[in-house]
Structure 1
Amino acid sequence: MKFGICNETFGDWPLDKSLEYAKNAGYTGWEVAPFMLTDDIFSYSAEDRKRYRDTVLEAGFEVIGLHWLLAKTEGLHLTTDDSAVRTKTSQYLGELAKLCRDLEGKVMVLGSPQQRNLPSGQSMDSAMQNAAETLQAIVPVLEECGVQIALEPLGPQEGNFLNTAAEARQLQAMIDSPTIQLHLDVKAMSTESTPIDQLIRDNADAMLHFHANDPNRQGPGMGDVDFAPIFKALQDIAYDGWVSVEVFDYDPGVETLVTQSMENMKAALA
């Protein structure tokens, strides 16, 4: 089992300090939220990218890839009927694919609910078609960069588009490219009627990446979800990707979130 952690977990900690603490806790993968790097991806230079990548690699980590792809952006949207906005969104995602390649990452997790939620009056069919067209437009860039997008279902408390693994699989099928696969997240899966371990088994053929967390928005094992059957399912399907810790409630503090999440995952594996 390969364990990673998302860089926004560390807030305003310096990168060197964050990497050292994560390494000592047992993580070997580093997942990057672009907004933690810069406010303007297009002006984040080749030298900036090399410096960040080299710092992470020299600390003994692999760069997993990117997540929160559209978070903290303006004028971007995946499902809108505004074709100009969709074109701009495709261009931005294409630049993120280049960033991911430059950091030596392989996966981009597409969640970002605020930039994909349906506006009032739009049909789901229209939203799915628009999203498919937006993503289809960047398939050549993904292929060129050797990067894949992992569609992230999110529960209804987060938004109204791609609330289930089945809906994400539907969108994946509409694009029909190996560059577009599936991401599964424990907090999100906990809102589905199918048990989490069964969802993992049912979607083993498409699952590219995995986030470990709890519905209470903290780390794995810090809430009510039992991770033992979850890790059993991952082992049963011979999952060889990353299990990456992503939290949303930072109140316990960086040290507690980082160390307790790892201790809980190791205990669940045992």
Structure 2
Amino acid sequence: MVKIGGFGHIVDYLQIAAAGYDFAELDIPEIAVLSGSELKDFRQKIKKGSPVLIASRLLPVTESLFFKIGFEPESLRAYLEKACQKTAELGIRALILGNGKARSMLSPSDRQKEDVFIETLSLMAEIAAKNQQEIILEPLGPRYSNYINTIEQAVYIIQKVGKDNLFTMADLRHMVGSKDKFDSIVRYLPYIHHLHIDYPLSYPERLYPAVGDGYDYSSFFAAIKKSGYTGTLTVEADVPNNWQMAYKKVEMLLAAYRSIFI
């Protein structure tokens, strides 16, 4: 049975847990800067509520990084060690590398620097492994990045890195944006360790998926069912004004597609 998660920030955690989600997906840079006492207090809240199984936006970077002249993967080590250690203390076992701008190429010739990105991923996976965590490389649509837009492209890079704790995921919005076939979920199931869903046609807004919103989710759910996937799925949308109502929208959507999804 797929577990359904809510996406937000630390301040949203208690509302996510109270709304009924199976787990929360939170922001990594926000956790990375918590003090020791803040981390301890938050860990106590999690013990009383829903688990935080996934965290996303691995790096606090909003501009091109990996393909800049002079970039060294080792420059990230101190931050990565801190981020992995603190998220692991909260029970988070999967860290998502989206960071579309950080990994965007500045020119077509940057493809020649791909080995630097592969070395960086290897470092990320190495540090995550020390904390019993995995790294999830997220394919992003062309509106968000010009590099690694499909599941197949992510798998190619994962195979190049060769780390056994490096995986990818399927995000409905980005699959639609990249025209990635939903059958990729079936084809590459061994590499897929997480899913994201929202209403995929809005931009830049990320609206909650809902019955009657004008998008047919049946093909996405059918591919999930055909693949046999039984992991985690986060509703990665903009933070709602009312978490309870947002979760009810998700429940209604899943109920509408129950014959396919379950």
Q: TM-score range by the shorter chain?
A: 0.7 to 0.9
CA shift in 2, pair 1:90/1:174, >3 Å: farther
What TM-score results when the alignment is normalised by the length of structure 2? 0.85
Offset from partner CA, 1:233-260 (integer Å, 9 cap, x none): 2222221210111014x5x733443331
Residue of structure 2 aligned with 1:110, choices 97, 105, 110: 97
Q: CA deviation at 1:76?
A: 8.1
Residue 70 of structure 2 corresponds to residue 82 of structure 1: yes
Say which SS state the counterpart of residue 75 (structure 2) adopts: helix
Give the C-alpha shift of residue 129 in structure 1. 1.4
Distance 1:36 1:97 in 2: 12
Return the offset for 1:81.
3.4
CA spacing shift, 1:164–1:261, aligned 2, 3 Å? same
2:92 is equivalent to residue 92 of structure 1: no
Change over 3 Å in CA distance of 1:139–1:70 after alignment to 2: closer
CA-atom RMSD, angstroms?
Answer: 2.5
**Are residues 1:246 and 2:247 paired?**
no
| Aligned-residue identity in percent | 19
Cα distance per residue 1:48-83 (max 9 Å; x no partner) = 223212212312x12112102224x47883343323
Please identify runs of 4+ aligned residues in structure 1 that moved more than 4 A.
none
Kept in 1, the 8 Å contact 2:151–2:180? The answer is no
1:16 CA drift (Å): 3.0
| 1:65/1:100 contact within 8 Å kept | no
124 and 269 in structure 1: CA distance in 2 versus 1, 3 angstrom threshold: farther
Encode CA deviations 1:87-106: one digit per residue, 9 max, x unaligned: 22343233222122111111
Per-residue displacement from partner, 1:113-139 (whole Å, max 9, x unpaired)? 12111123642231x211111121233
How far apart are 1:207 and its partner, in Å?
0.1
> Structure 1 pair 153/224, CA: closer, same or farther in 2 (3 Å)?
farther
Task: Compute the displacement of 1:267 (Å).
Answer: 2.2
Match of 1:28 among 22, 27, 31: 22
Q: CA, structure 1 residues 218+135, in 2 after alignment: closer, same or farther (shift >3 Å)?
A: same
Q: Distance in 1 between matches of 2:23 and 2:42?
A: 14
Query: In structure 2, which of residues 40, 45, 48 is the aligned counterpart of residue 50 of structure 1?
Result: 40
Q: Counterparts of 2:112 and 2:64 in 1: how far apart (Å)?
A: 20
Deviation sequence 1:206-253 (CA, Å, 0-9, x none): 0011111122221234644322332232222221210111014x5x73
1:24-173 matched pairs, under 5 angstroms: 27-37=21-31, 41=32, 43-59=33-49, 61-71=50-60, 73=61, 77-84=65-72, 86-120=73-107, 122-126=109-113, 128-173=114-159
Aligned residues: 252
Distance 1:190 1:17, change over 3 A: closer
CA distance in 2, matches of 1:160, 1:130: 17
After TM superposition, the structure 1 stretch with the greater mean CA deviation from structure 2, 137-146 or 164-173, is: 137-146
Secondary structure of 2:189 counterpart: coil
Asked if 1:212 is matched to 2:210, the reply is no
TM-score by length of 1: 0.83
Q: Residue 97 of structure 1 contacts residue 142 of structure 1 at CA under 8 Å; is this kept in 2?
A: yes
Structure 1 spans left out of the alignment, 5+ residues:
none
Is 1:19 equivalent to 2:17 in the alignment?
A: yes
Any idea what the Cα deviations from partners look like across 1:171-193, whole Å, max 9, x if unmatched? 11111111111111000001233
